Structure 1
């Protein structure tokens, strides 16, 4: 399940990027009851996409932004309490990583649900049910 942190250069220090990704991922796993899950933890992956100064926008103007974006199966983020808790936590994680200088109003979180059956892991296409089954037996 890929996490992409899309972030303007200078929002968080480079030396805090790995910790920020780790905290965002840990919050996802914890809120879904998957912390330490042997099947899911190694398949929660991510990357940081740095946007050059002047190449990110908000309100039609150049702006420093941070976007936490997940691509997940439809059973993830299905419950409203998980959605609200994760958005609040992720926003706070980015805000803290910025030294509390980046405004929360310039931090967005979104989730994209993938097509059922299109989860490719190690060359095998998994359905949502197969992923859930693997997670429940790990």
Structure 2
């Protein structure tokens, strides 16, 4: 379940990106009741993209932004309470790691859901049901 964390250069102090990924990953697992799950934990992956200053825009004007985007099976981040809690935590994580300098209204989060059966774990395309079965063993 990949997380793409995109940050305008300077939003976070250099070196804190790893902390952000770890804390966001931990929040995702916690909010789904999967902390310590041996199947799910290694399947939470992440990429960090740093966008040069002057190349992030809001309303067509330069700004400093932060974006956290999840690509997950349709059952993950589907519950409204989990969405609200996790995305609030993501916002707080970025805000705190920025030293309180990144405005919360310039921190964005979203989720993209995969088509059932279009998810691959351990080299095997799995349906939501098959993923659930695998997770239940971990």
**Structure-1-length-normalised TM-score:** 0.97
- The residue that corresponds to 2:42 in the other structure is 42
Query: Match of 1:19, SS?
Result: helix
- CA–CA distance in structure 2, aligned partners of residues 122 and 72 of structure 1: 15
**Structure-2-length-normalised TM-score:** 0.97
1:118 CA drift (Å): 1.4
Q: CA offsets, 1:43-88, max 9 Å, x none?
A: 0000101111111111210111000100000111111110100111
Question: Which residues in structure 2 correspond to 1:54-69 (within 5 Å)?
Answer: 54-69=54-69
1:122 CA drift (Å): 3.1
- CA–CA distance in structure 2, aligned partners of residues 122 and 88 of structure 1: 31
Aligned residue pair count: 138
Q: What is the alpha-carbon root mean square deviation over aligned residues?
A: 0.8
- CA–CA distance in structure 2, aligned partners of residues 121 and 132 of structure 1: 12
- The residue that corresponds to 1:51 in the other structure is 51
Structure 1 portions without partners, runs of 5+: none
- CA–CA distance in structure 2, aligned partners of residues 15 and 49 of structure 1: 13
Q: CA offsets, 1:13-37, max 9 Å, x none?
A: 1211111100000000000000000
